[in-house]
Amino acid sequence: MEEFDVEGFSSVMQRINAVCLKNGLKNKPRLVAVSKTKPKEMIINVYNQGQRQFGENYIQELVEKSNDPDILGKCKDIKWHFIGHLQTNKINKITSVPGLDVLETLHSEKLAVTLNAAWEKAKKEEPLKIMVQVNTSEEEEKNGCEPNTCWKLVDFVMKKCPHLKFVGLMTIGQFGYDLSLGPNPDFLCLSKCRDEVCEKLNLQKNDVELSMGMSDDFEHAIELGSTNVRVGSSIFGLRAKKIKENSNITEGMANVTVN
């Protein structure tokens, strides 16, 4: 087992608490510890420190970790977030993940239909919570629906996909934004998308989460309304490079999530 810096988790929690106190925020954002490429021993270690929500980018890695006997035995209350690009031909694997809490990367009606059917076929008791991914930076290499049409995808999910439950919006955003230039436009854009979704679909803001932020700016994301921060390397340490699973990586080089 590789070394684990036990200060990583507590340090991130302290930073989250500090930004909430500074800005008078009563409700702390959810912390998702992004454990991609990291061994199960690290997950168990962080779980034992009180963390319950963990995120993975690669579907096969998520399936393996979530079904690992040690994790099942020692982390009985663990909740998983899938934060990577989900290909339609791998959707059935999602249904084999025990403790799957949220899929954060729904980006099209086609994916919604296929996912809804798979969840129904698996006869799950509760609908799968999903976030709609928005390509706020409008970069071609990133997945996500367009900001001005995201409300239509949310509407489609709510009306046509009874086995899915819409809970929020998610963005990756542009890497390396210079905060000295002002508020991150991707965060502002996602917040605006929420306003439009709520206005057009008669929803309350408190019922629509915002998952946004990167390792070097998650505190800024919280200040601008993020309710779900995905933190990776700042907890687990730097990652070794891994061959992509034909996947678009949501947790970037310095990841959202705090790297």
% helix / strand / coil in the chain, to the nearest 5? 40, 15, 45
pLDDT tops 60 at residue 101: yes
pLDDT tops 90 at residue 171: yes
Q: Which of 80-94, 127-141, 180-194, 244-258 has the lowest mean pLDDT?
A: 244-258
Element (H, E) at 33: strand 30-34
Is residue 80 within 8 Å of 61, Cβ to Cβ? no
Q: What is the arithmetic mean of pLDDT over 106-120?
A: 97
| Signed CA dihedral, 133, 114, 52, 40: sign only | negative
Rounded percentage of the chain residues whose pLDDT exceeds 70: 89
193-250 pLDDT tens trace: 999 999 999 999 999 999 998 777 899 999 999 999 999 988 888 766 654 444 444 4
Average pLDDT of the chain to the nearest whole number: 89
pLDDT tops 60 at residue 149: yes
pLDDT at 175: 83
pLDDT at 4: 54
pLDDT at 84: 95
pLDDT at 240: 64
pLDDT at 141: 84
Is residue 90 within 8 Å of 64, Cβ to Cβ? no
Burial class (CB in 10 A: 0-12, 13-18, 19+), 123: exposed
pLDDT tops 50 at residue 33: yes
Show the tokens assigned to 40.
Answer: 């199960």
Burial class (CB in 10 A: 0-12, 13-18, 19+), 90: middle
Burial class (CB in 10 A: 0-12, 13-18, 19+), 216: middle
* CA distances for 24 relative to 5, 44, 227, angstroms: 30, 32, 14
What pTM, to 2 d.p., does this model score?
A: 0.90
Secondary structure class of 101 (helix, strand, coil)? strand
